[in-house]
Structures are given as C-alpha cells and as structure tokens.
Amino acid sequence: MPVTQSVSEHLKDLAKLAEQCADVLAPDLAIAADLMSETVRSGGTLFFCGNGGSAADAQHLVAEYVIRFGLERRGVPAIALSADSAVLTAAANDYDYAIVFSRQLETLGRAGDLLVIHSTSGNSPNVVEAARAAASMNIRTLALTAKGGGILRSLADHCVVIPTGSSSRAQELHMCIQHAICARIDIEVGS
C-alpha cells in the first residue's frame, strides 16, 4: 500500500471515530467541559496525569493552559504530574511507582481542584491511586479512557470512554476533546 493511501486511510478512520464520539459522547463531553470550566472559574488548579503518550499529552495540555491556546488570556493554573523527573524517580525508587502521582497530588492539591487522568486502559496502578487520593481530598476527577474505561470508570467522578480498543486512536481523540475544551475555557477566561 502506498504511503499516501495509508495516511489517507488513517485520517478517514480517525474522522469516522471522531464523528461517532461527537454523536454518542456529546452528553459526556459536555459534563467533562463543565467540570474543567467550573474548576477554572472557581480558582482551582487543573492537575493532569497519564503514562507514556498520555504523560506527554498531560504536559502538552498544561502548556496550553499556563501559556496560551488560541486566544490571548491570563494563564490558567495547571500542573502535569508527569513532568518532574526528580519527583517521579524519587517516589518510584523510595516507595513504589504506583504512588508517583498520588503523592504529588496529596502534597500540591486541595479541595476544589480537578484531577484529569488520561489512560487508555483505565487500569494503570498509578492513575488508579491518584484517583483514590483525589477522592479522599475532595478533589474531583475526570478520566479520559478507552477499552471500556477500566477501573477508572467507577472511580472517577466522570469518565469519558472513547469507543475503541486502539490506544493510539484513543489518545488522538483525547487530545481533540481536550483542545475543544481548552478553546471554550480560552473564551471564558478572556471575557
């Protein structure tokens, strides 16, 4: 198969899944956007976490909030719990990798904040522990998952489950959703 055909098929497949998500997940997406918007309006901090590509997505999103996305506006308090290699490696080495996010949240978070978890499986022990820590601190949790949602589906205050078994497709859609929410918050913060 020629490369151009392969790329074209990839994009068409993504577009089909995006359209399905727009139709089927609209109520869930509205709740997710409201959770993030309410947190920002009330002065809370957005905490993001995930593993691998989802960790990179968390850091990407924090840059969109702290610096800017599409509009000039004040910065929005946001922290990627995957960004500090010294903290991550100390927690993993001295305790256990399962607490690398929860320990940071326990230290930096407060009631009224929001933990946003990106996890295609919804089952990684470190994101599950982060969700449990958030619940004990009265920090709401929004999870973006796939593959049925995993454990996070029942732990998070709200879970958006992309209807796919593909991690890459889920991550692509997670970013599309997050960019749409960020565009909404841009307008709210800038007005």
Q: Is residue 177 part of a domain?
A: yes
Length of the chain: 191
Q: Is residue 1 part of a domain?
A: no
The reply to whether the predicted model has a pTM over 0.75 is yes
Contact (CB, 8 A) for 143 and 160: yes
Q: Is residue 85 part of a domain?
A: yes
Domain that holds residue 24: 16-190
User: What 3-state class would DSSP assign to 37?
Assistant: helix
Q: Is residue 63 part of a domain?
A: yes
Q: Domains in the chain: how many in total?
A: 1
Return mean pLDDT, the chain. 96
CATH number at residue 76: 3.40.50.10490
Strand ranges of the sheet holding 114-118, from the earlier edge strand across to the other edge: 78-80, 46-49, 114-118, 140-145, 158-161
Q: Is residue 128 part of a domain?
A: yes
Q: What is the pLDDT of residues 132-155, one digit of tens each?
A: 999 999 999 999 999 999 999 999
**What's the rounded Cα separation, in Å, for the pair 4 and 1?**
8
